Amino acid sequence: MKKYILVTGGAGFVGSYLTKELIKENFHVVVVDDLSNGKIENITKEIEFYKLDIGDEADLLKIPLHPFQCVIHLAAQSSNAISFINPIHDLNTNQIGTYNIINFCIERKISRFIFTSSMSAYGKPQQLPTKESSPLNPDSFYAVHKVASEHYIRIVSKQNRIHSTIFRLYTTYGHGQNLDNVNQGLLSIYLSYILNNKPIIVKGSKFRRRDIIHVTDVVNAIILSLNCKKSYGKIYNLGTGETNTVEELIQLLTTGLGFEKKEYPVIYKSGTSGDPFTTFAAITKAKRDLGWRPKISAKAGIQMTIKPYLTDTITNFGKKK
């Protein structure tokens, strides 16, 4: 008997890694994605794919009546900066989209729901490392809509006996992020500048500290949660519990690509509204309930991320490596 699972945003960065693992777990994976940020190349032949907008409730009627065991909701506009530029789009995708998907679960009698929220829910954290019980103080429309979505899920899950799990993702990175989007993804933004032979533009202080987590560690946590009853009705941080300065992360990128320390030009500009100075996840809860551990350090993860580009010719403003 087939095990059906629905993944929203499955053509995106995290989704592309997750669907591969779900297929290994013998799931029949159905993906819905509007391809606004995801890529059709991420949809493999084993995946049943539907291009649709989760913000349009009528669009969800196109999804076949499969007996889904679980819905994993990844689809999102995931940039604080972009949410200020187009808050209505962010509202439609992140808040209304989540509302539509959780209602889809009610209508289809799907009792398992997993949602990826964001560390942005904390705003400027009041405690470090930041626990899941820390006050929520969203400082961007993106964060506001993520927090609202968490509350929708909490209320609807209790009313309809849906077993939900929420993950607040910290800065997630790895090979395959959309390098065309310079408003989303800390490391992918910097890598994009380097690969296009341009100075790295940093919005904010080089002394800001970031807890970054490799995408495979994120996916591992989601997979472990699928049948973990301890995770029902709970919220988890997904970070590494370690931090690096922005300057350190840039040096890991540039030296990994063959540039001397501080050789690559970096331009610092004023920060983005809603951007905290430090992110630092408390991850004891995920370790305890899921038996999960982040396995990839920042140094190893960045090396994994840039390795596919090392065969390309990269110039340092006309000077070849």
Q: C-alpha distances in angstroms, 156 versus 105, 106, 211? A: 10, 9, 31
d(CA 168, CA 245): 21
Higher pLDDT among residues 310 and 98, named by residue: 98
SS3 (DSSP) at 244: strand
Helices (H), the chain: 13-24, 80-85, 87-90, 97-108, 141-160, 186-195, 215-225, 246-256, 284-290, 298-306
Q: Look at residues 78, 71, 126 and name the one whose alpha carbon lies nearest to residue 102.
A: 71
Domains present along the chain, CATH in parentheses: 3-173+213-238 (3.40.50.720), 186-209+242-279+297-320 (3.90.25.10)
Please state the φ and ψ torsions of residue 319, each to the nearest 5 degrees: -100, 115
Cβ 126 vs Cβ 137: under 8 Å = yes
Stretch 283-307: mean pLDDT: 97
Helix (H, G, I), strand (E, B) or coil at 101: helix
Q: What's the mean pLDDT in 185-208?
A: 94
Averaged pLDDT score across all residues of the chain: 94
**Average pLDDT value for residue range 160-164:** 97
**Residue 313 binned pLDDT confidence (cut-offs 50, 70, 90):** very low
Q: Say yes or no to pLDDT of 319 above 80.
A: no
Report pLDDT for 312. 57
Residue-level pLDDT at 271: 85
**Span 22-59, pLDDT tens digits:** 999 999 999 999 999 899 999 999 999 999 999 999 99
Residue range 298-314: mean pLDDT, rounded: 86
The whole-number average pLDDT for the span 175-191 is 89
Instruction: Give the pairing type, strands 163-169 and 234-238.
Output: parallel
Q: Does residue 232 have an active-site annotation?
A: no
Q: What tokens appear for 100 in the block?
A: 């539509």
Percentage of the chain beyond pLDDT 70 is: 97
Question: Residue 180 — pLDDT band, cuts 50, 70, 90?
Answer: confident
* 316 CB burial (10 A radius; 0-12, 13-18, 19+): middle
Indicate the pLDDT class of residue 321, thresholds 50, 70 and 90: very low
Answer positive or negative: Cα dihedral of 86, 215, 312, 187: positive
Among residues 142, 152, 170, 236, the one annotated as catalytic is: 142
Confidence of residue 200 (pLDDT cuts 50, 70, 90): very high
**For the residues 5-18, what does the mean pLDDT come to?**
98
Mean pLDDT of all residues in 267-282: 91
Does the structure show a pLDDT above 50 at 282?
A: yes
Which has more pLDDT, 316 or 259?
259
Check residue 82 and give its pLDDT: 84
Backbone dihedral angles phi then psi of residue 217, each to the nearest 5 degrees: -70, -35
d(CA 40, CA 25): 22
The reported pLDDT for the residue numbered 317 is 44
Q: Which of 10, 114, 107 is nearest to 58 (CA)?
A: 107
Mean pLDDT over 133-161 rounds to 96
pTM for this prediction? 0.95
Q: Report the range of poorest mean pLDDT among 16-20, 86-90, 149-153, 215-219.
A: 86-90
Q: Which long-range contacts (CB under 8 A, 24 or more apart) does 135-140 make?
A: 138/274, 139/80, 139/273, 139/274, 139/276, 140/80, 140/83, 140/84, 140/273, 140/274
* pLDDT range class, residue 314, cuts 50, 70, 90: low
Of 84-88, 115-119, 144-148, 287-291, which gets the smallest average pLDDT? 84-88
Q: Write the pLDDT tens digit of every residue in 111-141.
A: 999 999 999 999 999 999 999 999 999 999 9
Q: Which residues contact 100 (CB under 8 A, 6 or more apart)?
A: 54, 55, 56, 57, 60
Q: Both ends of the chain: CA-CA distance in Å?
A: 54
The average pLDDT across 150-171 equals: 97
Give the per-residue SS3 of 179-209. Answer: CCCCCCCHHHHHHHHHHCCCCEEEECCCCCE
